[in-house]
Amino acid sequence: MVKLDIISDPICPWCYIGKTSLDAALSKVPDHPFTIEYHPFQLNPDMPLDGMDRHEYLETKFGGKDGAIKAYAPIVERAEAEGLAINFNAIQRTPNTLNAHRLIHWAGIEGHQLFVVHKLFEAYFIEGRDIGNVETLADIADSAGMDAALVAKLLASDADIDDIRARDVHSRKMGVQSVPTFIVASQHAVPGAQPTQTWDGVIAEIMAQIAADDTDA
């Protein structure tokens, strides 16, 4: 198997789009070679822990409604091309994603990471839920078969906070400046929301190399 590390943030629309494109490629190859693991990266590491009003966030980051519309236009266009009905109007708050990353980490330990990542994207971009909220995160954990009460208890503590922040810093020191960033086999960085066709080619190349190695052996 080949490790595919994905550095991502669950409030990043390009991360959601990139995941969707990758999933489309993986669905064509049930025996694909990837073992996938998600890693934390906060788009807004200085965000207040309880998040902030979405309109205030857009005003601050993009200088007003017109700036936000201009910035999000290519996102909306690409999402529509991927068949994603992102509901930006439903998003009322922009959360701090530290707790969401903690949940992703714990889900990985229990073997539910891919499902939880998918549910976080869906909750935020489709349902407009606050994924910085402990109850929301516990509910997502429950939907994955995790112990929601335990997750809520852990989220109320400082468990793994330092680890998540350290891993975020580590990615930045490695040169990661934006997400999503995909790292194939711990060697090849693939930045950005690549189209499905790109992943088709990557998967085909890796599988051909694996087959060649098996033949040589």
User: Could you give the domains of the chain?
Assistant: 2-45+96-216 (3.40.30.10)
Dihedral in degrees, nearest 10, Cα atoms 50, 44, 80, 138: -40
Residue 88, Cβ density class (10 Å: 0-12 exposed, 13-18 middle, ≥19 buried): middle
Q: What is the pLDDT at residue 215?
A: 80
Full pLDDT tens readout for the chain, 217 residues: 999 999 999 999 999 999 999 999 999 999 999 999 999 999 999 999 999 999 999 989 999 878 988 999 999 999 999 999 999 999 999 999 999 999 999 999 999 999 999 999 999 999 999 999 999 999 999 999 999 999 999 999 999 999 999 999 999 999 999 999 999 999 999 999 999 999 999 999 999 999 998 887 6
Q: Model confidence over 99-116: pLDDT tens digits?
A: 999 999 999 999 999 999
Which residues are CB-neighbours of 112 under 8 A, at least 6 positions away?
Answer: 144, 145, 146
pTM: 0.96
In degrees and rounded to multiples of 5, residue 68 shows phi and psi of: -65, -40
Sign of the torsion angle spanned by Cα atoms 205, 207, 209, 215: negative
Which residues are bridge partners to 2 per DSSP? 34
Q: What is the pLDDT at residue 192?
A: 97
- Residue 35 belongs to what H/E stretch? strand 34-40
